[in-house]
Amino acid sequence: AQRVTQPEKLLSVFKGAPVELKCNYSYSGSPELFWYVQYSRQRLQLLLRHISRESIKGFTADLNKGETSFHLKKPFAQEEDSAMYYCALSGPDDYKLSFGAGTTVTVRA
């Protein structure tokens, strides 16, 4: 069975400080991994996915197959980064997404 675990429900950091959101997964095979974000009063949207190896809004995420993790990082948090973040995975030949419980990030001035 596939599972996504986000151990932190809440994360509070100061503006300019580094922020790391943890995500661990369980999947028998090679999954596709994603981070989705939901800003206040906005709809859920894709932040980044591991196959693209891209940096979006200063965020990066590295897939560690040995530790089955896909942690999201940003070296200098901004107030506009305050949001709910979801880690998600899908199978390589699948479209269904399995989401973690989500982490609410608050960036304080």
Partner 1 sequence: NAGVTQTPKFQVLKTGQSMTLQCAQDMNHEYMSWYRQDPGMGLRLIHYSVGAGITDQGEVPNGYNVSRSTTEDFPLRLLSAAPSQTSVYFCASSYRRRSGETQYFGPGTRLLVL
Contact region with partner 1 (CB under 8 A), list: 16-24, 55-63, 70-78, 92-100: 92-100
45 binds partner 1 (CB under 8 A): yes
Q: Which CB sits closer to partner 1, 62 or 79?
A: 62
46 binds partner 1 (CB under 8 A): yes
Angle of CA points 10, 13, 14, to nearest 5°: 155
92 binds partner 1 (CB under 8 A): yes
Return the bridge partners of 108, or none.
14
Taking the complex as a whole, the smallest distance from the CB of residue 40 to partner 1 amounts, in Å, to 13
